[in-house]
Structure 1
Amino acid sequence: MSENLNATHNNSRHELRDLVRSQLQLLLEQNNLEGAKALLIPVQPVDIAEAIEGLPESIQAIAFRLLNKTEAIDVYEHLDYSVQQALIEEFKRQEVLDIVDKMSPDDRARLFDELPASVVSRIIAQLSPEERQSTNLLLGYEEDTAGRIMTPEYISLKETLTVAQTIEKIRSQAKASELIYYLYVTDASRHLTGIVSLRDLVLQSPDTTLAEFMTRDVIYVKTDMDQEEVARLIQRYDFLAVPVVDRELRLVGIVTVDDVIDIIEREATEDIYALGAVSSDGDNYFQTNLFTVARRRVTWLLILLITNSVTGSIIGNQGDLLARFTVLAAFIPLLTGTGGNIGTQSSTVVIRGLNTDEISDLGPGKVVLREGFAGLLLGIILGCLAMVWAYFLPQTEKNIVVVTSVGVSLIAISVLASVSGSALPFFFRSLGLDPALMSAPFISTAVDVIGVLIYFNIARAMITAGI
């Protein structure tokens, strides 16, 4: 029931976005700027951003300029990076500064990652001193780390403050903080000593000091922690935010859940692309230049082309066997295709397990062994079915050599595919390589080349044995 409601809600949202986009485009093409401006008034910033992204590039800047300054900042933070960059190139210098200076520091840092260095340097030089300092702080950390995605906009308190004093301080700093549901307690050296939730705060009497009820056992991350680890930590504990400390355990920022959602989506997208041997580099695939797309995809396709050439050479060297049993060639696609599918299944579950830490307790040995037995079981089932099917095919004429070769080879190839599909992600991860990107081509290579060798060797052995 809830899934149906969610689907209905999502469909309604997409319909609203498409309706706003189409009407907005029509009004802009008619040069009805007042009508377009009135259309956008009741629409949420994220929906406006999606509507602008769907407009032709020639009128995106016009649509964006219809927004007031406050709304423009919110909408700009939701736009795709390619659209953000295109708008910056269209804007005058003061328009750029008005938007970028008011963005949250973490969103600004992510935008700067996508812009040319010369543009970033020019913009940073013209930011206000406070914003320039906070931006340079984030840009000083390595990409894809907690330090790079955190925001320095948080509320820091001393444990001697009373509840009444704390509430007054929240009122004065709320607009400058990205999150007020968690309040962080620090000592004179800015070391993180505790945390107070807004819920706990309002339940206490006004004269109670923070030291009396704050949580001292604080879960935090360090600035050099990988952003995926940060995302998993927030997901595990259901946090709205997690504090970030430097090497001396001084509080320097927080990572909020909205940033984590973006990270999870981006990393999942990269993994899905990688499983298809497509490198996305974090870009929107369908907005990337076709020549760039072809360049990224051609490398692995060339590797697979060479693999297929090797497979063809192996088949070509089996001329004497194929001359005697021509029908053996008919089962090669079945064997390699099934093996490839089994290998892909194994690599997919292992890569997903690595990303979610679901298999951290098992270890590589147990995972590979488990997948090997799964491959054996699958091979026996599929092998028996393939033997029955091959036995009654008119082309085989109930030839026991062909039928047995197909069944036994399918079992062996299934085990090979399961073992290679589960072992290769661990191997590439130990080398510091991306398991999702590297595994698929090598699994195809193992299944195609070794699988064909297994098939013909089994067939030749059975003929030699006089079966």
Structure 2
Amino acid sequence: MNDNVTIAKNDSRHELRELVSSQLEIMLETNNLEGAKALLVPVQPVDIAEAIEYLPPSMQLIAFRLLNKTEAIDVYEHLESSVQQALIEEFKRQEVLDIVDKMSPDDRARLFDELPAMVVSRILEQLSPEERQATNLLLGYEEDTAGRIMTPEYISLKQTLTVEETLDRIRSLAKASELIYYMYVTDASRHLAGIVSLRDLVLHSPNQTLEEIMTRDVVYVKTDMDQEEVAKLIQRYDFLAVPVVDKELRLVGIVTVDDIIDILEREATEDIYALGAVQSDGENYFQTNLFTVARRRVTWLLVLLLTNTVTGSIIGAQEDVLAKVTVLAAFIPLLIGTGGNIGTQSSTVVIRGLSTGEMNDLGTPKVIAREALAGLLLGLILGFLATIWAYLLPQTGRNIVVATSVGVSLVAISVLASVSGSALPFLFKSIGLDPALMSAPFITTAVDVLGVLIYFTIARTMLGI
């Protein structure tokens, strides 16, 4: 029941965004700015952002300027980076200050990563000293690390404060902090000493000090930790946020779960694209220029084209076999196609296991051996069925030797594909390459070339040619 309600809500939200976008475009085309402004009043910022993204570029700036300053900041933070960049290039100086200066430091740093260096320098000069310092702090860390995605907007407290004093301090700092459910306790040198939740403050006496009630065993990350590792840690412990410390264990920021969700989605998207040998660079694929899309996809397609050329050459070298048993050529697509599918299955589960850490306890040899055994079992099942099917085909003339050579070849190719699919991701990871991006074309290469060689070798042997 709950699932059905959730689906219904998601569908209604999708319909709402489409309705808002279409009506907004009509109103802007007829220059009905008051009507467009009234249309956006009850709509959530994230839905307004999506509606603006689907407008023609010439209308996006007009729609954005209909928003009040507070709402504009929220909407801007939800826009795609390409739309953010297009808008900021059209903004006047004061508009840039009104939007960028009020953004949270981590969102601002993410925006600056997408902008040209000259534009970033100009904007930084116009920010307030506090915001400039906060942004420079984040930009000083390497991309895709905890330091780059953290926010310095958190509540830090001294351990000598009482519960009552802490609640007063929270009230005064709440608007400037991104998260008030957790407070971080530090010593005189800003070293992370403990953590206190809002629940802890409510349950304890007003006169107790934070040193008495804080949790001392704090899970934290360092500024140079990879963002994927941070995401896994937050996911593992179901945190709303995790503190970030520098090399001296001084508290410098926090990473919140909303940023982690974005990272997990972005990384999952990149992995899925990579499995299809498509480079995404983190951009919205369907809003990327088609020439850019073609340039990114053509590299691996050329690799696969060359592979097919090699495969064709191998088949051409077997003219004497094919001249005597022409029907052997009919089974080549079946064998290499099935092998490619099995290899893709193996690589998919291994790459996913590498991402989630599910295979850490098994180790590389056991994983490959397990997939090889799975390939053998699949090969035996499919090989048995392929042998029967090949024997019953009229083209084979009920030749049991030809049928058996097809079945045996399918078993061997299945094992080869499983080993290739499970071993190549480990190999590419060990030499610093992306397993998801590299595995697919190389698995196809191995199965196509070696599969054809295996097939003709077995056929020659069994047919005595």
Q: CA deviation at 1:36?
A: 0.8
Match of 2:290 in 1: 290
Matched AA of 1:127: L
Match of 2:394 in 1: 394
Matched AA of 2:264: I
SS in 2 for 1:169: helix
Distance across 2 between alignment mates of 1:229 and 1:7: 31
How many percent identity over aligned positions? 82
Match of 1:377 in 2: 377
1:230-379 aligned at under 5 Å gives the runs 230-379=230-379
Moved over 4 A (4+): none
Match of 1:437 in 2: 437
Matched AA of 1:18: E
Match of 2:222 in 1: 222
SS in 2 for 1:395: helix
Q: Which runs of 5+ in 2 are unaligned?
A: none
Q: Tell me the C-alpha RMSD between the 2 structures.
A: 0.8
Q: CA deviation at 1:3?
A: 2.8
Matched AA of 1:30: T
Matched AA of 2:355: N
Match of 1:193 in 2: 193
Q: CA deviation at 1:5?
A: 2.2
Match of 1:102 in 2: 102
Confirm or deny: 8 A CA contact 2:374 2:418 kept in the other structure.
yes
1:76-87 aligned at under 5 Å gives the runs 76-87=76-87
Match of 1:183 in 2: 183
Match of 1:52 in 2: 52
Matched AA of 1:137: L
Distance across 2 between alignment mates of 1:361 and 1:30: 63
Q: CA deviation at 1:307?
A: 0.6
Distance across 1 between alignment mates of 2:384 and 2:155: 66
Distance across 1 between alignment mates of 2:461 and 2:8: 60
2:41 paired with 1:41: yes
Distance across 1 between alignment mates of 2:286 and 2:43: 26
Distance across 1 between alignment mates of 2:199 and 2:328: 72
**Which stretch shifts more, 328-337 or 27-36?**
27-36
Confirm or deny: 8 A CA contact 2:409 2:458 kept in the other structure.
yes
Matched AA of 2:155: I
Matched AA of 2:200: D
Q: CA deviation at 1:289?
A: 1.2
Matched AA of 2:60: Q
Q: CA deviation at 1:8?
A: 1.3
Distance across 2 between alignment mates of 1:80 and 1:316: 51
Q: CA deviation at 1:54?
A: 0.8
Q: CA deviation at 1:401?
A: 2.2
SS in 1 for 2:174: helix
Q: CA deviation at 1:367?
A: 0.5
2:411 paired with 1:411: yes
Q: CA deviation at 1:328?
A: 0.4
Q: CA deviation at 1:29?
A: 1.1
Match of 2:170 in 1: 170
Distance across 2 between alignment mates of 1:6 and 1:374: 38
Q: CA deviation at 1:4?
A: 2.2
Matched AA of 2:347: S
Confirm or deny: 8 A CA contact 2:402 2:463 kept in the other structure.
no
Matched AA of 2:54: G
Matched AA of 2:452: V
Matched AA of 1:378: L
Distance across 2 between alignment mates of 1:3 and 1:311: 49
Deviations along 1:87-132, whole A, 9 cap, x unmatched?
0011111101110000000000000000011100110111000000
Confirm or deny: 8 A CA contact 2:183 2:195 kept in the other structure.
yes
Distance across 2 between alignment mates of 1:207 and 1:454: 79
SS in 2 for 1:84: helix
Distance across 1 between alignment mates of 2:224 and 2:372: 37
Distance across 1 between alignment mates of 2:463 and 2:347: 35
Distance across 2 between alignment mates of 1:147 and 1:41: 36
Matched AA of 1:216: R
Distance across 2 between alignment mates of 1:286 and 1:128: 37
Matched AA of 1:421: G
Deviations along 1:235-280, whole A, 9 cap, x unmatched?
0100000000000000000000000000000000000000000010
Q: Which runs of 5+ in 1 are unaligned?
A: none
Distance across 2 between alignment mates of 1:461 and 1:249: 68
Deviations along 1:165-217, whole A, 9 cap, x unmatched?
00010011111100000000001111000000111111111111111110000
Distance across 2 between alignment mates of 1:147 and 1:306: 43
Distance across 1 between alignment mates of 2:341 and 2:5: 34
Aligned length: 465
Matched AA of 1:385: L
Q: CA deviation at 1:2?
A: 3.1
Distance across 2 between alignment mates of 1:4 and 1:173: 40
Distance across 2 between alignment mates of 1:311 and 1:137: 54
Q: CA deviation at 1:290?
A: 1.2
SS in 1 for 2:99: helix
Deviations along 1:117-176, whole A, 9 cap, x unmatched?
110011011100000000000000000000000000000001110011000100111111
Match of 1:451 in 2: 451
SS in 2 for 1:242: strand
SS in 2 for 1:244: strand
Distance across 2 between alignment mates of 1:127 and 1:302: 47
2:129 paired with 1:117: no
Matched AA of 1:415: V
Deviations along 1:392-450, whole A, 9 cap, x unmatched?
10101111221011100000000000011001001100011100000000000000000
